[in-house]
Amino acid sequence: MTSAASAVKAVSMSAPASRPHRAATLLEARDVSVRFGGILALDGVSFTAAEHQLLGLIGPNGAGKTTLFNCFSRLYTPASGDILVGGQSILRHPPHRIADFGIGRTFQNLALFKTMSVFDNIRVGCHRLGRSDFLSNALHLPWVRGETEEADAIARELIGFLDLAAVSERRAADLAFGLQKRVELARALASRPKLLLLDEPAGGLNHHEVEELGLLIRRIRDERGVTVLLVEHHMNLVMSTCDKVVALDFGRKVADGTAAQVQRDPDVIRAYLGTKRR
Amino acid sequence: MMELFLHQVLAGIATGAIYACMALAIVMIYQAIDHLNFAQGEMAMFSTFVAWQLLEWNLPYWAAFAGTIALSFAAGVLIEHVVLRPILRAPALSHVVAFIALLAIFNSAAGFIWGHGIRSFPSPFGTQPIFGQTLVSPHNAGIMGMTLLMLVLLYLFFRHTRIGLSMRAAAANPESAQLAGIRVGWMLALGWGMAAAVGSVAGMLIAPIVFLEPNMMLGILLYGFAGAVVGGLTSPVGAVVGGVLVGVIENLVGTYMPLLGRELKLTIALVIIIAVLTIRPSGLFGRHIVTRV
Ligand SMILES: Nc1ncnc2c1ncn2[C@@H]1O[C@H](COP(=O)(O)OP(=O)(O)OP(=O)(O)O)[C@@H](O)[C@H]1O
Ligand SMILES: [Mg+2]
């Protein structure tokens, strides 16, 4: 087997089976605000996520969850505040460097490379692990070939992991919604992220599939040593899988704590019962 | 009767290879930026003048050929940076205006530097009939060979290299590509460079047939567009097949409907474009994308 495949194994082996008691902070949002014209989509949001944590981000429609993810992935730049990953501000780096910070994500409404095959979609996810330039690619120098093989191996491993073998040569756009979501997850994992942002991964899944998804997310965290941020409206999923939950409403953080604490929080209950005001 | 038909089809394939060459360049840009570049023909013409100049300076043919490809590639990258980068997010109409401006600039610059006289341009493929037949001239056979070679090289590049994959990703979904660490702006520039390079090859292969002058690409570009549209605009293989088909249709119409063929030559290309766009907008090889709403 190639070095890439063994590297995958090495990562899964070395990942801690049980988390250390006092894990270091991986992600810190400091007073993040985002404004779209008249509306304040995020209003001074602060929280932290520890390494290997599974953090749920909840809130009614329009609360600002996706906007926050867009800030973490440098698609939006906050009007004020800062975002630190591993102690470093990601806002001081150009957007294409985001993958190098070890941030991977999926999208609420999918953002696959529609015209490309499932296999190619996942291979693009490996981009940051390669370093070759245009000229050596054009001439197909030997070390480019090594790089390509490594990407192929990573993609194949993920196709096995997420059970996509049957569709790996199909065009992404031709797949059912649920399968496309899985392809997106595979693409995000291909960059070997330290921080994985999942925006409503349970959307469009049935009850049984949601249960499986919960197990899968835990497996990803445990076996791959990834910190996961999970945006979901599916409360059972959030409450049963997350170590910590942050609740947003109208762009503000209204609660932050364990699943049980947040569930009982009066502000959270009000936010959810009060969604009719919109 | 049958012999005449076959002869005309073969001749059509030979001219079609020229359109295929041009269609290939058009599709490369279209894939990268989602717009048709109307200046593509003039860029190719200008490149061909550069090649002519290098030959005048006594460079051997293939050295001038390679030098022109390299210069055209660099010019394509530069044009993207200087002209198109600032209007990246502007509406389609701004792009159209920019393309027309580029077209006018290259056309008049070539006229200004090299004049409007008609020049001959050498063919590297000699005059010895191939396989002892005279149906397909050596140069036309050479064009077919070169077009196929380019197609294979492009295919290998886009399929099997990391940058080729990144260029496809950047065109398919810029946000996701950026998130994966791809420098989308650079990929666009590379796309322009490669399209300019492919276009320069088309120009150098076409010039021995149509002769070199600032307006040499006018008709050819239209046929190239027709080929690209027939092929579906998104597939390099489609562009080549489309270009060849257009050449064959043009030749057959010219043979069996001589009046139509001679007087309304360019109209045939337009009719093909409109017919394909109405009947099958995604072309023969194009893929229809349904947008999720
Ligand atoms: N690009 C944008 N331009 C203008 N307004 C925006 C933009 N993106 C988000 N908003 C607004 O910001 C607010 C937060 O939206 P966001 O998509 O972050 O909510 P959300 O919590 O993800 O909701 P949902 O659960 O429906 O996905 C909403 O009022 C939304 O209309
Ligand atoms: Mg959302």
Residues of A in contact with B181 (CB under 8 A): 96-100, 127-128, 191
Report the separation in Å between the CA atom of A217 and the middle of ligand 2, taken as the mean of its atom positions. 19
Nearest-Cα residue of chain A relative to residue B153: A138
Q: Is B143 exposed, middle or buried (0-12, 13-18, 19+ CB in 10 A)?
A: buried
Classify A38 as helix, strand or coil. coil
* pLDDT tens-digit map of B116-160: 889 999 988 877 776 666 667 788 888 888 888 988 888 888 888
Beta-ladder partners of A84: A28, A89
Residues of B in contact with A100 (CB under 8 A): 181
Q: Report the gap between the CA of B180 and the closest CA in chain A (Å).
A: 5
- Extract the tokens encoding A199: 């925006």
User: Is pLDDT at B257 greater than 80 in this prediction?
Assistant: no
Asked if the Cβ–Cβ distance from A114 to B173 is below 8 Å, we say yes
User: How does DSSP classify residue A274?
Assistant: G
CB contact A134 to B (< 8 Å): yes
Q: Report the gap between the CA of A55 and the closest CA in chain B (Å).
A: 21
- Closest in B175, B180, B183 to A191, CB measured: B180
Residues of chain A with pLDDT under 70: 1-22, 132, 140-144, 274-278
Report the separation in Å between the CA atom of A221 and the middle of ligand 2, taken as the mean of its atom positions. 22
CB contact A30 to B (< 8 Å): no
Q: Please tell me if the CB atom of residue A61 comes closer than 6 angstroms to any atom of ligand 1.
A: yes
Q: Please tell me if the CB atom of residue A108 comes closer than 6 angstroms to any atom of ligand 1.
A: yes
CB contact B28 to A (< 8 Å): no
- Closest in B163, B172, B181 to A100, CB measured: B181
* pLDDT tens-digit map of A246-277: 999 999 999 899 988 888 888 888 887 765 44
ipTM greater than 0.90, yes or no?
Answer: no
Its sign, for the CA torsion B57, B59, B65, B71, is negative
Q: Are A106 and A197 in contact (CB under 8 A)?
A: yes
Confidence at residue A157, expressed as pLDDT on a 0 to 100 scale: 94
**Whole-angstrom distance, CA of residue B266 vs CA of residue B255:** 15
Beta-ladder partners of A45: A32
Q: Which amino acid is at A179?
A: L
Confidence at residue B250, expressed as pLDDT on a 0 to 100 scale: 86
Confidence at residue B264, expressed as pLDDT on a 0 to 100 scale: 67
Pairing status of strand A54-58 against strand A244-249: parallel
When pLDDT is averaged across residues B246-259 and rounded to a whole number, the result is 82
CB contact B74 to A (< 8 Å): no
CB contact A108 to B (< 8 Å): no
Best mutation target, A93, A105, A137, A191, to test chain B (most B CBs within 10 A): A137
Confidence at residue B37, expressed as pLDDT on a 0 to 100 scale: 82
Instruction: Give B278's contacts (C-beta < 8 A, 6+ positions apart).
Output: none
Asked if the Cβ–Cβ distance from A130 to B178 is below 8 Å, we say no
User: Is pLDDT at B21 greater than 90 in this prediction?
Assistant: no
**Whole-angstrom distance, CA of residue B72 vs CA of residue B76:** 6
Instruction: Give B196's contacts (C-beta < 8 A, 6+ positions apart).
Output: B25, B43, B47, B72, B73, B75, B76, B79
Q: Are B233 and B273 in contact (CB under 8 A)?
A: no
**CA-CA-CA-CA dihedral for A159, A174, B33, B157, to nearest 10:** 50
Q: Please tell me if the CB atom of residue A33 comes closer than 6 angstroms to any atom of ligand 1.
A: no
Q: Mean pLDDT highest for which of A196-200, B2-6, B95-99, B217-221? A: A196-200
Asked if the Cβ–Cβ distance from A113 to B173 is below 8 Å, we say yes
Question: Which strand (E) or helix (H) includes residue A89?
Answer: strand A88-89
Residue with tokens 């249960």: A211
Instruction: Give B94's contacts (C-beta < 8 A, 6+ positions apart).
Output: B87
**Whole-angstrom distance, CA of residue B202 vs CA of residue B172:** 26
Q: Which residue has the least CA distance to atom 8 on ligand 1?
A: A67
User: Is pLDDT at B291 greater than 70 in this prediction?
Assistant: no
Q: Secondary structure of chain B in the HEC alphabet?
A: CHHHHHHHHHHHHHHHHHHHHHHHHHHHHHHHHCCCCCCHHHHHHHHHHHHHHHHHCCCCHHHHHHHHHHHHHHHHHHHHHHHHHHHCCCCHHHHHHHHHHHHHHHHHHHHHHHCCCCECCCCCCCCCCHHHCCCCCHHHHHHHHHHHHHHHHHHHHHHHCHHHHHHHHHHHCHHHHHHCCCCHHHHHHHHHHHHHHHHHHHHHHHHHHHCECCCCCHHHHHHHHHHHHHHCCCCHHHHHHHHHHHHHHHHHHHHHCHHHHHHCHHHHHHHHHHHHHHHCCCCCCCCCCCCCC
Residues of A in contact with B184 (CB under 8 A): 96
- Closest in B157, B175, B177 to A124, CB measured: B177
- Closest in A75, A98, A148 to B162, CB measured: A148
**Whole-angstrom distance, CA of residue B8 vs CA of residue B248:** 8
Nearest-Cα residue of chain B relative to residue A72: B179
* pLDDT tens-digit map of B159-206: 888 888 898 899 889 899 999 999 988 888 988 898 899 999 999 998
CB contact B119 to A (< 8 Å): no
Q: Please tell me if the CB atom of residue A104 comes closer than 6 angstroms to any atom of ligand 1.
A: no
Asked if the Cβ–Cβ distance from B290 to A173 is below 8 Å, we say yes
Q: Please tell me if the CB atom of residue A36 comes closer than 6 angstroms to any atom of ligand 1.
A: yes
Residues of A in contact with B182 (CB under 8 A): 96, 124, 127
Q: Please tell me if the CB atom of residue A275 comes closer than 6 angstroms to any atom of ligand 1.
A: no
Nearest-Cα residue of chain B relative to residue A103: B179
CB contact A227 to B (< 8 Å): no
Confidence at residue B38, expressed as pLDDT on a 0 to 100 scale: 84
CB-side neighbour CA atoms (13 Å) of B146: 27
Q: Report the gap between the CA of B139 and the closest CA in chain A (Å).
A: 27
- Closest in A107, A120, A134 to B165, CB measured: A120
| Among the listed residues A102, A104, A85, A54, the one whose alpha carbon sits nearest the alpha carbon of residue A222 | A54
